[in-house]
Chains A and B, each alone.
Chain A
């Protein structure tokens, strides 16, 4: 007989305890996906997927191991538990290895349970037709519209019990524009949503980026090297947020390499910056309700008026460093709206760039970052003038956060993240 998800997770905990694992944790995820793909401008694929994941964490004498399988039958679980015991016993004792303490049980749900496949098809068709009509020089390289239905169960041997059910649509187009032999850089955007009530191009910044792509077929070289301002668009701001939060996470703080390791409670950014993580919200299409280490998630303010209010440490990271545990795992980012309009931000830039996409890696341990400004524009004399190419930007993250010149009132809602335009000074901009 097939067991339900809660019974499977309960069996896992029982099997681990029988095998001598005192501290046991089971995280079960059952996910179904329906996905429509467009390749080369044509609908190409309808993909239906189903997968299950059971992640078992066991701690034996302060030694930890994790085993993950995608089967739910008892034989597979028993074998995984047997392997987990070997993993845990093989490891080294570390008092920071712990599981979450008892909390009130929680059952959460958000979004539709089933996709409207007919509507998904119609929305894609409508999007393709409008693209051909509105942007004839734009080529849709790949477009994905999918619906994810995800059910999760979390149990541990301290009695923690969470259950969640989520369903949402997400859309991600990738495109290039061409006129004869001249081409723009590729660009992409996306959103997640609980419904498909609107036409796809009307969500988030989809239409703006597609229009910009058609303008970027003949970019101009950017000349010289100077310290200037950049205005980071909402699509690009996510990269910079991930740079910041990378320094607030377990690895950076445990290894001691974070540039913000001594900064909790201190000002690390211009007072105009407030960054929140808002995973728990009925409006949020793909947030989460509990953390992977078994705590009910809460919304949090990571940076409040420039002051670092929390690290993003897990239970392990917290016990390892002696620093406070975060109330969530980050993500679902929201930057508070500023007081300037986008136009006012642009008017405040004498010479700089409107930074629409950042092509570069994570910053160095010391916070230095550099990369190419892709799909971006020159700003001169307070006006966005023309698209640019082969332009590099570089700076230091800690310094750049103190050089925020303004934040826009307007924000883009990506269904999970809600982000404004952000102007930042002291950036080295170098062209040919």
Chain B
């Protein structure tokens, strides 16, 4: 348990100061071919302070949350800020402030499941796979639960207490073709504690059946022809494209570091059909996978409309980058562990749905591919991206054909998005994303299906 209230320490602040107490609690269970390969629980809590002085920061953390240690981290972080200020003598003024206050606890109200019940949940799924799905040579089921509980106080009046949970279940199945393994995975779950996200293993039966059916088709699948092709990128890929290839280029620290998006504000970077938003906590009236109400600098979190009708509108900011770019802080400063400093991070990045039906979009392609699921994605500050594709189908004469084996797609996002000629009317979130940038952090990614042209790598 961490203290929900830190206001008693405000009198110890001298310069601009953020004080944060945090606990991350996680559970991980892995069942490999029926055996419990991991059965772990962990908790890491502590307190940190970050102090700003004339353009430089000092930070300090301690795993023990006590009055004495809290005083010590405030003192140590102040000392660190003064160490740098004394040498750098930058003389910058105060940072912009748009503080918020929030108390949000998303703990379940239902009785908590025991570890045995969680293991039994996986075993029931595993038993069904083992008994009913012929030809499976390897099966892996994993539960990963993460609760992030934070208390925050800033010297300019920002404060928050939040408990944001996430519950993910992964299933990976493998079959063989000519002695070579062919695998496919599916991810279930998202925002909320396990009891609020999953009811029973039986509830996932239809999705498991679908995974098995798709894997059977993939085993008999083909490699796509390499080249630039008409494709439908399904929601999973639209989400990872939004996050990796566009979102990162608009993080203001990356912009300062030379991102190509730095030149594009006010310019057309995508088809007018494309509007992309980094949602703070609620999208289209529904809670996002990773809701952020007040960020870890105490800023009130608001949506950032990155691309509006194809035009790049803004960057994602913390307080310092907002000062640099003379913009408003957007509430994107987030830290993963108690001992981490807040960095500019995306929250829930998505392309908004359009007006086309997915069926019509597929029908409109004579020779191309429907790409559904990625294994990974990488992009750089030029917006050049590469995504691994592990599930998809060829499209011939407007109809879905044979399944695809693993391949890759690549391109330059700000070029590729200009080729978007249709956007489907339904969007879906991917809730298992863990973004890496010095620290990991949970993120949401979402989108509709996009019709566009992209370079596909073949075998």
Q: Which positions in A face B, CB cutoff 8 Å?
A: 39-40, 42-53, 55, 64-71, 83, 86-92, 94, 96, 117, 121, 139-142, 144, 174-178, 181, 183-186, 225, 250-251, 254-257, 316, 320, 359-362, 364-366, 368, 370-372, 374, 389-390, 392, 394, 428, 430, 432
Q: Name the A residues within 8 Å of B35 (CB-CB).
A: 92, 94, 96, 254, 320
Q: Name the B residues within 8 Å of A96 (CB-CB).
A: 35
Q: Name the B residues within 8 Å of A174 (CB-CB).
A: 257
CA distance A185 to B83 in the complex (A): 34
Q: Are A67 and B63 in contact (CB under 8 A)?
A: no
Q: Name the A residues within 8 Å of B455 (CB-CB).
A: 390, 392, 432
Interface pairs (28), CB distance under 8 Å: A42-B55, A46-B58, A46-B59, A46-B83, A47-B60, A48-B60, A49-B61, A51-B339, A64-B39, A67-B40, A70-B45, A70-B46, A71-B63, A86-B114, A90-B39, A139-B257, A181-B263, A183-B259, A256-B137, A256-B138, A257-B138, A257-B174, A359-B380, A360-B378, A360-B388, A371-B378, A372-B384, A374-B384
Q: Which of A45, A90, A185, A432 contacts B380 (CB 8 A)?
A: A185
Q: Are B388 and A91 in contact (CB under 8 A)?
A: no
Interface residues contributed by chain B, number (CB under 8 Å): 81
- Min C-beta distance of A346 to chain B, whole Å: 25
Q: A255-B174, A320-B35 are in contact. Are A364 and B183 (CB under 8 A)?
A: yes
Q: Which of B59, B118, B459 contacts A428 (CB 8 A)?
A: B459
CA distance A239 to B253 in the complex (A): 26
Q: Which of B44, B90, B138 contacts A70 (CB 8 A)?
A: B44
Query: Which A-chain residue is minimally distant from B459 (CB atoms)?
Result: A394
Q: A142-B253, A142-B438 are in contact. Are A53 and B44 (CB under 8 A)?
A: yes
Q: What mask results when residues 134 to 152 of chain B are scored 1 for a CB within 8 Å of chain A, else 0?
A: 0001101000000000000
Q: Are A51 and B46 in contact (CB under 8 A)?
A: yes
CA distance A371 to B88 in the complex (A): 42
Q: Are B80 and A254 in contact (CB under 8 A)?
A: no
Q: Is B367 close to A, CB under 8 A?
A: no
Q: A65-B40, A371-B386 are in contact. Are A48 and B380 (CB under 8 A)?
A: no
Q: Are A257 and B459 in contact (CB under 8 A)?
A: no
Q: Which of A91, A320, A390 contacts B119 (CB 8 A)?
A: A91
Q: Are A141 and B56 in contact (CB under 8 A)?
A: no
CA distance A39 to B61 in the complex (A): 21
Q: Name the B residues within 8 Å of A139 (CB-CB).
A: 256-258
Q: Name the B residues within 8 Å of A365 (CB-CB).
A: 174, 180-183
Q: What mask results when residues 63 to 105 of chain B are scored 1 for a CB within 8 Å of chain A, else 0?
A: 1100000000000110011011001101000000000000000
Q: Is B382 close to A, CB under 8 A?
A: yes
Q: Are B410 and A67 in contact (CB under 8 A)?
A: no
- Min C-beta distance of B167 to chain A, whole Å: 18
Q: What mask results when residues 434 to 452 of chain B are scored 1 for a CB within 8 Å of chain A, else 0?
A: 0000100000000000000
Q: Name the A residues within 8 Å of B258 (CB-CB).
A: 139, 141, 175-178, 183, 186
Q: Are A87 and B39 in contact (CB under 8 A)?
A: yes
Q: Are A255 and B384 in contact (CB under 8 A)?
A: no
Q: Which of B18-43 contact A (CB under 8 A)?
A: 32-33, 35-43
- Min C-beta distance of A270 to chain B, whole Å: 22
Q: Name the A residues within 8 Å of B341 (CB-CB).
A: 45, 47
- Min C-beta distance of A31 to chain B, whole Å: 10
Query: Which B-chain residue is minimally distant from A180 (CB atoms)?
Result: B263
Q: Name the B residues within 8 Å of A42 (CB-CB).
A: 55, 88, 90
Q: Is B239 close to A, CB under 8 A?
A: no
Q: Are B115 and A46 in contact (CB under 8 A)?
A: no
CA distance A341 to B339 in the complex (A): 45
Q: A47-B60, A51-B63, A394-B459 are in contact. Are A374 and B380 (CB under 8 A)?
A: yes
Q: Are B63 and A52 in contact (CB under 8 A)?
A: yes
CA distance A241 to B66 in the complex (A): 45
CA distance A52 to B382 in the complex (A): 39
Q: Name the A residues within 8 Å of B140 (CB-CB).
A: 255
Q: Are A90 and B80 in contact (CB under 8 A)?
A: no
Q: Are A360 and B41 in contact (CB under 8 A)?
A: no
Q: Which of B33, B59, B324, B408 contacts A371 (CB 8 A)?
A: B408
Q: Are A430 and B183 in contact (CB under 8 A)?
A: no
CA distance A71 to B65 in the complex (A): 10
Q: Name the B residues within 8 Å of A65 (CB-CB).
A: 39-41, 115
Known: A142-B253, A364-B406. 7 other contacts (CB 8 A): A44-B57, A48-B60, A68-B42, A186-B380, A362-B376, A372-B386, A390-B412
Q: Is B254 close to A, CB under 8 A?
A: yes
Q: Are B41 and A83 in contact (CB under 8 A)?
A: yes
Q: Are A43 and B56 in contact (CB under 8 A)?
A: yes
CA distance A94 to B39 in the complex (A): 12
Query: Which B-chain residue is minimally distant from A364 (CB atoms)?
Result: B406
Q: What mask results when residues 166 to 210 of chain B are scored 1 for a CB within 8 Å of chain A, else 0?
A: 000000001000001111000000000000000000000000000
Query: Which B-chain residue is minimally distant from A33 (CB atoms)?
Result: B339
Q: Which of A48, A88, A141, A176 contacts B59 (CB 8 A)?
A: A48
Query: Which A-chain residue is minimally distant from B62 (CB atoms)?
Result: A50
Question: Which of A46, A52, A181, A251 has the most chain B CB atoms closer than 10 A to its own CB?
Answer: A46
Q: Are A86 and B115 in contact (CB under 8 A)?
A: yes
Q: Are A70 and B43 in contact (CB under 8 A)?
A: yes
CA distance A72 to B228 in the complex (A): 58
Top 5 closest pairs, chain A to chain B, by CB: A141-B257, A361-B376, A176-B258, A68-B42, A90-B116
Q: Name the B residues within 8 Å of A257 (CB-CB).
A: 137-138, 174, 181, 183
Q: Which of A254, A370, A394 contacts B37 (CB 8 A)?
A: A254
Q: Is B407 close to A, CB under 8 A?
A: yes
Query: Which A-chain residue is minimally distant from B344 (CB atoms)?
Result: A39
Q: Is B372 close to A, CB under 8 A?
A: no
CA distance A178 to B226 in the complex (A): 31
Q: Is B458 close to A, CB under 8 A?
A: yes
Q: Which of A121, A176, A256, A320 contacts B381 (CB 8 A)?
A: A176
CA distance A292 to B271 in the complex (A): 52
Query: Which A-chain residue is minimally distant from B140 (CB atoms)?
Result: A255
Q: Is B392 close to A, CB under 8 A?
A: no
CA distance A185 to B260 in the complex (A): 10
Q: Are B384 and A51 in contact (CB under 8 A)?
A: no
CA distance A254 to B34 in the complex (A): 11
Q: Are A51 and B61 in contact (CB under 8 A)?
A: yes
Q: Name the B residues within 8 Å of A430 (CB-CB).
A: 226, 457-458
CA distance A361 to B55 in the complex (A): 38
Q: Is B221 close to A, CB under 8 A?
A: no
Q: Are B80 and A390 in contact (CB under 8 A)?
A: no
Q: Are A390 and B44 in contact (CB under 8 A)?
A: no
CA distance A58 to B76 in the complex (A): 38
Query: Which A-chain residue is minimally distant from B88 (CB atoms)?
Result: A43
- Min C-beta distance of B251 to chain A, whole Å: 10
Q: Name the B residues within 8 Å of A370 (CB-CB).
A: 388, 407-408, 457
Q: Name the A residues within 8 Å of B310 (CB-CB).
A: none
Q: Are A360 and B386 in contact (CB under 8 A)?
A: yes
Q: Is B411 close to A, CB under 8 A?
A: yes
Q: Is B7 close to A, CB under 8 A?
A: no
Q: A92-B119, A225-B226 are in contact. Are A40 and B80 (CB under 8 A)?
A: no
Q: What mask results when residues 359 to 402 of chain B are scored 1 for a CB within 8 Å of chain A, else 0?
A: 00000000000000001101011101010100000000000000
Query: Which B-chain residue is minimally distant from A45 (CB atoms)?
Result: B57
Q: Name the B residues within 8 Å of A360 (CB-CB).
A: 376, 378, 386, 388, 408
CA distance A144 to B343 in the complex (A): 14
Q: Are A46 and B57 in contact (CB under 8 A)?
A: yes
Q: A70-B46, A94-B35 are in contact. Are A359 and B386 (CB under 8 A)?
A: yes
Q: Are B378 and A359 in contact (CB under 8 A)?
A: yes
CA distance A94 to B341 in the complex (A): 41
CA distance A309 to B333 in the complex (A): 48
Q: Name the A residues within 8 Å of B116 (CB-CB).
A: 86, 89-90
Q: Name the A residues within 8 Å of B254 (CB-CB).
A: 141
Q: Name the A residues within 8 Å of B339 (CB-CB).
A: 49-51
